[in-house]
């Protein structure tokens, strides 16, 4: 897991988060309890960047002693700024760039696809960009990532500019 974290997080970010939270002791178990990692010493945004990568590569994130998904935790925390984490990842991948998080604020890439495939609790779905925000589309739910990404690509190619 640490190799994935090193690939997608700068050494400055990893050092800061690992030294100021309990994440380091929980990573080997592949289970992290968010409440154990939040404290006044470490910026929540920076902690969540590391945890996003952790979850992307098979880690399990618990919030209030329940296994939870990253987007749901963000909604429960209520900090809209944390959505920049997943947007940065998605937009970087769409631009063909390996997402790498650094300490501090996130600058989301400008180039955005009109349609993206995202994972939800019920499966993979398509979201449409409307006025700078992605919104779930009705009747666009798919069982696998591959099918959802193919559908998003099809929709993006059908747009006439």
pLDDT tops 80 at residue 36: yes
What's the sign of the alpha-carbon dihedral 155, 93, 136, 106? Answer: negative
**What's the pLDDT tens digit per position in 80-92?**
999 999 999 988 8
Query: Which of 93, 98, 73, 92 is closest to 83 using CA atoms?
Result: 73
Q: How confident is the model at residue 106 (pLDDT cuts 50, 70, 90)?
A: very high
Distance CA 39, CA 20 (A): 8
Q: Does the structure show a pLDDT above 80 at 116? A: yes
Distance separating alpha carbons of residues 11 and 17, to the nearest angstrom: 10
Residues composing the chain:
161
Helix 44-56 vs helix 83-94: crossing angle, to nearest 10: 50
Q: What is the tens place of the pLDDT at every residue in 143-161?
A: 999 999 999 999 999 876 5
Q: What percent of the chain has pLDDT over 90?
A: 66
pTM tops 0.95: no
- Mean pLDDT, to the nearest integer, of 117-123? 91
In this prediction, residue 112 carries a pLDDT of 76
Average pLDDT, the chain: 90
Q: CA-CA distance, 152 to 128, in Å (whole number)?
A: 9
Q: What residue has token string 């009109």?
A: 114
Q: Give pLDDT, residue 131.
A: 64
- Compute, in degrees rounded to 10, the torsion defined by CA atoms 134, 140, 141, 144: -90
């Amino acid at each position: 897991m640490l190799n994935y974290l090193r690939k997608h997080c700068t050494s400055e970010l990893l050092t800061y988060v690992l030294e100021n939270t309990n994440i380091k002791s929980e990573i080997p178990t592949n289970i992290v309890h968010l409440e154990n990692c939040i404290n006044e010493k470490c910026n929540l945004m920076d902690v969540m960047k590391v945890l996003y990568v952790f979850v992307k590569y098979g880690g399990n994130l618990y919030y209030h002693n329940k296994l939870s998904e990253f987007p749901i935790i963000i909604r429960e925390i209520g900090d809209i700024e944390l959505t920049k984490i997943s947007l940065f990842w998605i937009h970087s991948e769409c631009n063909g760039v390996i997402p790498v998080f650094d300490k501090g604020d996130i600058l989301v890439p400008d180039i955005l696809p009109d349609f993206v495939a995202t994972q939800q609790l019920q499966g993979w779905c398509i979201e449409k960009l409307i006025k700078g925000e992605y919104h779930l589309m009705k009747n666009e739910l798919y069982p696998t990532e591959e099918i959802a990404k193919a559908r998003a690509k099809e929709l993006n190619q059908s747009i006439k500019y």
